Amino acid sequence: MNGEYTPRIVAGFDGRWQHTQLLDRAAQEAERRHLPLTLITDLRRRNGAGFDPRDERTDDAPGVVAAWRRLTDAVEALRLRYPLPNISGYCLDNEDITPGAFPISAARLLVVGATGRYNAPAWEPGSVSAALLRAATCPVMVVPEGAPRRPLGAHPFILAAVGSHPTDAQVVTAAAQEARRRGFDLQVLHVEPSRGNTGWGVSDAVAQVPDVQFSVVRTTGDPADALAELGQNAELLVVGSRPGELYRPVRESISRGVIQAPPCPVLAIPRELPVPTTAA
């Protein structure tokens, strides 16, 4: 099969070795899904969140060589730690990162860090993550720096955040798939609607993925506060997102809010995309 049509996990890499947590998480997700992993880095920008006056040169050649070297080192380090079928790397210009262009077009999951170069938010213009988020149409996982700080003896679980919209059933099904992949239980945080009926059932959504134990936590308070508290003990927080929600500010966006300060890795599921009914 042509490599450009092979489904894969794609991760944004900005060249910092502080992103070890991000790289390991991307490799682990590739292992769970039995897919190859592709790292993407971009050439250093001259403006935006990734800009530093020290980077301004008349000759870009040293920066390009350094970017390739950092990317190659990251790929080789992952190959030593993970027996994946294929780990590759691409160094691209901003114009190369578009929805229809390889390798982002083959992504089944995009993994990015919560912060970029110089500790700027990952979604700020000028970062590799921002370029990838703008082009991606697949689910997105945002990985905070540092390992989760769970209480001693706490059992990790997958947490899904849902409300009253019928498409939230897709979020629950996706979260159940992640729970099955990891062998964890699933907790569903259900924000009670102020009026009317939810129009769908959590049990029916979970039932599409067998062998997953789940419980429902209900709240009528601020969902962002509840997610921040429950997410501290979670292995993964699964939320729904609308098109462009992660790349551009969206008013009253719960998913954008938790990604700005993620208590744990956050998986954002585009609601308009179909979610498979069986886990890989």
| Alpha carbon distance 74, 37 (integer Å) | 12
Domains 3-143 and 157-270 share a fold: yes
| Alpha carbon distance 223, 6 (integer Å) | 38
CATH class of the structural domain 3-143:
alpha beta
Nearest to 107 by CA among 135, 74, 149: 135
Residues sharing a CB contact under 8 Å with residue 58, sequence separation 6 or more, in sequence order: none
Ranges in the chain, pLDDT < 50: 1, 45-59, 194-197, 249-251, 277-280
CATH class of the structural domain 157-270:
alpha beta
Taking the CA atoms of the chain, what radius of gyration do you get in angstroms?
Answer: 19
Q: Which pLDDT value is given to residue 81? A: 93
Query: Does residue 83 have a cis peptide bond before it, meaning omega lies within 30 degrees of 0?
Result: no
Instruction: Read off the pLDDT of residues 91-115 as tens digits, 9 standing for 90 and up.
Output: 888 778 888 889 999 999 999 988 7
How many CA atoms, within 13 angstroms, populate the side-chain half-sphere of residue 185? Answer: 10
Kindly write down the DSSP assignment for every residue of 208-265, as one continuous string.
TSSS--EEEEEESS-HHHHHHHHHTT-SEEEEEE-TTTTTS--TT-HHHHHHHS-SS-
Under DSSP, the state recorded for 204 is H
Q: Which pLDDT value is given to residue 46? A: 41
Domains of the chain by residue range? 3-143, 157-270
